[in-house]
Amino acid sequence: MIKKLFLPLLFIVLVGCSEESSNKENNENSLSINTQQNGSSEHQNLMKLGDFREVNVLPLEDENGYEFKDLKLDNAQAIIFQPIHLKEGEKVTLTLQLQSNDSFNNVNIGIIKDYSFDSTANYEIESIYSKTTDKELTVTYIAQEDSTYALCILGTMADTVGLTGKIVK
């Protein structure tokens, strides 16, 4: 008698948990995809520039495109590229190749709106990409309004990572 009651209840509980887990996983994936595609800051992490031990600012040779090779990124270091002006709807794409001793790295790409080289202000960095990757990634940011934006690569990995890549407007 107990087996007859227990088995159907167990089945209902397992099916309910499985559906809830599946729905939660689908919601998380769609949130990260939407975040990457439209640059919305509604559900994104904000970090402060002061959270990083070292900040390096790199000028862009050309506002429409820039290639870099053999950059080193340590943990708690931020690399900020010279701000570029984007009009609403314009996009900028960052392509990276990583060289690391680790097989997977948690990569964080951020953007700072209205960044100025001369300032010591503790700017907010909007995280536009934060995922684990192995060797290569491409991130595109679409401007929500006319402004200047500075792309950042944020060192949140355990080991030093070598970076090669390009920025294309």
pLDDT tens digits, 92-120 = 999 999 888 776 778 899 999 998 876 66
Half-sphere exposure of 149 (CA within 13 A, CB side): 29
**Which pLDDT tens digit goes with each residue over 16-66?**
444 444 444 333 322 222 333 334 334 457 888 888 889 999 988 777 788
pLDDT category of residue 156 using cuts at 50, 70 and 90: confident
Residue holding tokens 């089945």? Answer: 11
pTM above 0.85, yes or no: no
CATH number at 46-168: 2.60.120.380
Give pLDDT, residue 41: 39
Give pLDDT, residue 1: 52
SS3 label, residue 50: helix
SS3 label, residue 40: coil
- Alpha helix ranges (H) inside the chain: 2-38
| Sign of CA pseudo-dihedral 69, 56, 101, 29 | negative
Domain chopping of the chain, boundaries: 1-38, 46-168
- The candidate with the shortest Cα–Cα distance to 157, out of 139, 136, 132, 123, is 132
